[in-house]
Structure 1
């Protein structure tokens, strides 16, 4: 495997969600392996018409919309001359990458991440963009087998499942940070039920009201941003802390929880679940999307199939009778090597 010049097309580099964090993790891993990785993204902090090219990052003001984004990406391709272009998130970065790269002989890999398939397929204003992207990309990756099956069924194209990963040098059991976080936020009363990330309709928070008689035995701790459309679903006794950007503090937040839950209706493969598992925490999830690809039941990541299963699992954890065992998680290097195999395939074809 020779070192390559790779151009990543990101819809945003400033966003704080899992889509951006996953891109940064993969880019860092590829750079560590010796590949020359450029990133292009819109940056609203720049002046209209301004463009910067620093530290292998090509940024520009987003005025002009998608067409301007495509023009900038094509300009970057002609300047950087990458061996492969990666479009991050099919209906945005993926569309731009595919549209620009189609005017050259450079292969493009579209990395679909979750809502771009699960949601945008059903939105009239995005469906045609998504369809054109999937039909014209050199290759498509997904973060769940479920997403790969949807792409095959809806677009009649194969897609390669590549699991998200977690850096065990950043996320691990950290008693010192756990104690600091617990004391700082006064979390000494009762078992802590943690929920992390961005809270929106697909996160399945209505579960909390359906099993309220069990949730009342816990202190629900929400860490992240809460959309107005779901704020009414938070239990009255819940605690809320905004996004934690500091990694040691985030380790402490995971450590302070007796269990982390992810009851999503639709999902990709959430970083928060992998990070919590790396911190040796018990995690209860639905079977949505990539959650069913993380682990079989009866391990630290336990899949709950109905409300009764959720209640019983939470009771078992409260009563210290929940049987679990550690799970082997994919590393960033393994994730990067999987992408490199895709790069090899599209380059040879």
Structure 2
């Protein structure tokens, strides 16, 4: 039986959630049945270094916002390689893939993606999605809320959508010795450490956490905040201004001396276990990788009640869910976990168990490949 040949197209392979899920997918697909290629529309592709050996990487560098040559080059690649399936991630790659597949005249199956929910599409994006809506056969969302929202925004029929939750490598992200990891980071074992793993962009809503930590400090709690992540490459989407704003807020806070900035890290599996718990205060999400990774390491997470977060974190069992901008509740949950080591330990084990049973990378790859096969049969 011939292998199914799949091309995954994405706007870039930098340190982002969609990009990390491509790594998990590529590295867990059955190579006896599938031949995977990845195409980045940017030559900045640091996460591509994590691909399993034998994964073909193609770079078609987008030189400007409306660089139509990307479509032409992608069309040429499709014709040369004769792919069976194209699966695209993020707006630029979505539209380029749809147009290139049509122009290639090869009959390749086109699958789109939805990675978030409750965001705002620009008018030109809405128009591009609408004009190309018939050029995509299926759309894979990483949350049910994302699928519903995308359908409402792009006027796609709901029967085109499939939900495949993100997956986490539960071998790589595992319970580790906290003392050893903290020694490597220069953090005392007795320090109460709160982690936030997120790029510096508006969606991640750092100011919400900062406001709650201000109240936590006023209550007499002692802690350090570990921030892992940085602004997007080149300050994309205003992340440079946002980063400056967040750092100014921290500098003017009462806990400014207790914040550790680590920036982007490849070895985040060696950083999560240093934390007592993590917080993700996002305005919107799909299935956030950092929640899965944190929980797989046995580190409970407090996350906002957006997208399908409440389907991943069982409130009061493996972590906490907090409503957007409910500073009082977030402060209370953090206070509870800082001061109740027994509950923290129970949450830790429950979080790890959920990831092993429901959200592994192997399960992600199996679900994706089933959709690829079924889409080709239509």
In the TM superposition, what is the alpha-carbon distance from 1:133 to its structure 2 partner?
4.3
1:9 aligns with 2:9: yes
Give the distance between the partners of 2:148 and 2:182, measured in 1 at CA: 42
Give the distance between the partners of 1:156 and 1:12, measured in 2 at CA: 25
Change in CA separation of 1:84 and 1:286 when aligned onto 2, cut-off 3 Å: same
Aligned to 1:167: 169
Give the distance between the partners of 2:275 and 2:57, measured in 1 at CA: 37
Question: Deviations 1:229-263 (Å, cap 9, x if unpaired)?
Answer: 43233342322111111x3xx23321111110001
Aligned to 1:328: 354
Question: Deviations 1:115-169 (Å, cap 9, x if unpaired)?
Answer: xx64451x23433223334453111111111111112333242222110000011
1:233 aligns with 2:249: yes
Matches within 5 A, 1:110-121: 110-114=112-116, 118-119=118-119, 121=121
Q: Is the 8 A contact 1:88 1:111 kept in 2?
A: yes
Aligned to 1:295: 313
Give the TM-score taking structure 2 as reference length: 0.80
Aligned to 2:265: 244
In the TM superposition, what is the alpha-carbon distance from 1:110 to its structure 2 partner?
0.5
Q: Is the 8 A contact 1:219 1:239 kept in 2?
A: yes
In the TM superposition, what is the alpha-carbon distance from 1:278 to its structure 2 partner?
0.6
Aligned to 2:18: 19
Aligned to 1:340: 369
Residue range with higher mean Cα deviation, 301-310 or 144-153: 301-310
1:316 aligns with 2:336: yes
Aligned to 2:300: 282
Change in CA separation of 1:77 and 1:156 when aligned onto 2, cut-off 3 Å: closer
Give the distance between the partners of 2:201 and 2:32, measured in 1 at CA: 36
Give the distance between the partners of 1:209 and 1:60, measured in 2 at CA: 39
Give the distance between the partners of 1:68 and 1:77, measured in 2 at CA: 14
Aligned to 1:100: 100
Q: Is the 8 A contact 1:151 1:157 kept in 2?
A: no
In the TM superposition, what is the alpha-carbon distance from 1:215 to its structure 2 partner?
4.5
Matches within 5 A, 1:20-169: 20-32=19-31, 34-44=33-43, 56-63=56-63, 65-89=66-90, 91-103=91-103, 104=105, 105-114=107-116, 118-119=118-119, 121=121, 123-154=122-153, 155-158=155-158, 159-169=161-171
Aligned to 1:263: 281
Residue range with higher mean Cα deviation, 152-161 or 16-25: 152-161
Runs of at least 5 residues in structure 2 that lack an aligned partner in the other structure: 46-53, 232-242
Q: Is the 8 A contact 1:174 1:251 kept in 2?
A: no
Count of matched residue pairs: 332
Q: Is the 8 A contact 2:38 2:55 kept in 1?
A: no
Q: Is the 8 A contact 2:12 2:43 kept in 1?
A: no
Change in CA separation of 1:156 and 1:251 when aligned onto 2, cut-off 3 Å: closer
Q: Is the 8 A contact 1:200 1:230 kept in 2?
A: no
Change in CA separation of 1:80 and 1:311 when aligned onto 2, cut-off 3 Å: same
Aligned to 1:254: 272
In the TM superposition, what is the alpha-carbon distance from 1:273 to its structure 2 partner?
1.2
Aligned to 1:51: none
In the TM superposition, what is the alpha-carbon distance from 1:33 to its structure 2 partner?
5.5
User: Matched residue of 2:171: which SS?
Assistant: coil
In the TM superposition, what is the alpha-carbon distance from 1:41 to its structure 2 partner?
2.3
Change in CA separation of 1:145 and 1:232 when aligned onto 2, cut-off 3 Å: farther
Q: Is the 8 A contact 2:277 2:300 kept in 1?
A: yes
Give the distance between the partners of 1:156 and 1:277, measured in 2 at CA: 34
Residue range with higher mean Cα deviation, 70-79 or 311-320: 311-320
CA RMSD of aligned residues (A): 2.5
